[in-house]
Amino acid sequence: MPEFNFITISDLPSIESFYLSSQASTVCEPERRDPSHEPAWLDSTPPINKKVPPIIPLPLFQPQCSLHFPPRSPGPNRHFLLGDHGRGVRRRAIQRLPPRADPPWMAGRASSVERVKERATGLDKFVLREARGSSAEVYLYGGQVTSWKNNSGEQQLFLSKKASFKPPKAIRGGIQICFPQLGNHGVVEQHGFARNRLWSVDESPPLPDTTSDCHIDLILKQSEEDMKTWPHSYELRLQVALSPRGDLILTSRIKNKNADGKPFQFTFAYHTYFSVSDISEVRVEGLDTLDYHDNLQSKIRCTEQGDAVVFESEVDRIYLSAPPKIVTIDHEKKRTFVLRKKELPDVVVWNPWDRKAKAMPDFGAEEYKCMLCVGAARIEKPITLRPGEEWQGRQEISPVPSSYSSGLLDPEMIQQMQRI
């Protein structure tokens, strides 16, 4: 699903139906007055996501209306043509749209990235503060995000009160980077070594894919010690970014730097601990009908029967070949996490429930009630890289109001998105 750009068109001509086009392409043809109609598309070059319905019914005959567009369609400051349908472009109108203005409270505020030494742990972390209010904390230890607050300052990630920040234990919570393996199927330790190694700041990061001006780039390379068990030279880059909307975007790049000509193979996961209000009120959508490996039943392959995953006992699964968008709905908190992923087909879903919670030294006995792991991964089909080759994977999480569920957008969400 694309994100949306919003524009406001003033002075709509009073015509019964119209179409709207941009320099690049025709955008959509709203059906006559009936808001329940899907728009018809006048052409398909370049392809536009046809699943996008006219979320805000187009109020014809009103002097002003808001329309939504997929991101590749025109943004601010571009020309639009407005014409009545069927008879050519009769009332040709070209509008130059004003750039979306920042809200007044943003005046003088800028994003920042600060390096801080944590007194309690002695570890270095980066504090990202996006100008519109969201923030994140990223440790050099594990390259791990341990905190992510939305634009209203609410924590979105779970971090155990009993988390250990002492190597070699991985920090329990946040987003763990699992490389070069997830689980214990491989030659290295459970979930790989990346989550408990000290990363460095990436001094020569690749150009960011996002428009975010609030990000940190980290890098992990092989150590002599690790070469004993996993004899490969690699560069694992991680960029953590906050978007103006408060989304948390993680991009990883892994490059084979072997000088001996040998390829290597790995699996990967963003083991993401969400903070939830009450696990029994949470549902994960987007995984229905998928096959999964059930780690509680010797990894046997099962098929999801429900239309959503709900939690009444321990769950430890790897869903296979999931769609690019997975939605975790927290009814009680009225909050939804929309997780979008690239090159990471699989999804880890885990809640230890009471018995396992008690058995974990770095996890509170009751904490299973307020956390849920849902993370993008690449497990079933490991990646093989030859020397010089690079792989890139990405996980993007957006916090949205709970009335949003898979594939549907509602006016409340749109209003909220319009405000930022």
Chain residues in the site for ligand G6P (CB under 6 A): 170, 183, 190-191, 295, 316, 348, 350, 373
Q: What is the DSSP letter of 416?
A: H
Collect all residues with Cβ–Cβ distance below 8 Å to 139 and sequence separation of at least 6.
123, 124, 125, 146, 165, 171
**Shortest Cβ 223–ligand G6P spacing (Å):** 20
Nearer to ligand G6P, 348 or 413 (CB): 348
Least distance between ligand G6P and beta carbon 359 (Å): 10
Q: Name residues whose C-beta falls within 8 Å of residue 96's C-beta, 6 or more positions apart in sequence.
A: 77, 78, 79
- Closest by Cα among 348, 372, 294, 287 to 323: 287
CB of 380 to ligand G6P, least distance (A): 14
Q: Which of 357, 191, 420, 376 is nearest to 286 (CA)?
A: 376
Q: Do the beta carbons of residue 97 and residue 77 sit within 8 Å?
A: yes
Nearest distance from C-beta of residue 367 to ligand G6P, angstroms? 13
**194: phi then psi, degrees, rounded to nearest 5:** -60, -30
Between 286 and 375, name the residue whose CB sits nearer to ligand G6P: 375
Nearer to ligand G6P, 48 or 250 (CB): 250
- In the complex with ligand G6P, the residue whose CB is nearer, 138 or 177, is 177
CA 161 to chain centre: 25
Closer residue to ligand G6P (CB): 84 or 380: 380
CA distance linking residue 389 with residue 380, whole number of Å: 20
- Written as one letter, the residue type at 260 is D
CB of 126 to ligand G6P, least distance (A): 23
Q: In angstroms, what is the minimal distance from the CB of 335 to ligand G6P?
A: 22
Contact (Cβ atoms closer than 8 angstroms) between residue 6 and residue 67: yes
Q: Choose between 70 and 180: whose C-beta lies nearer to ligand G6P.
A: 180
**Which residue has the CB atom at the shortest distance from ligand G6P?**
350
Per 3-state DSSP, the chain is made up of helix, strand and coil in percentages (nearest 5) of 10, 40, 50
Tell me how far, at minimum, the Cβ of 255 lies from ligand G6P, in Å. 26
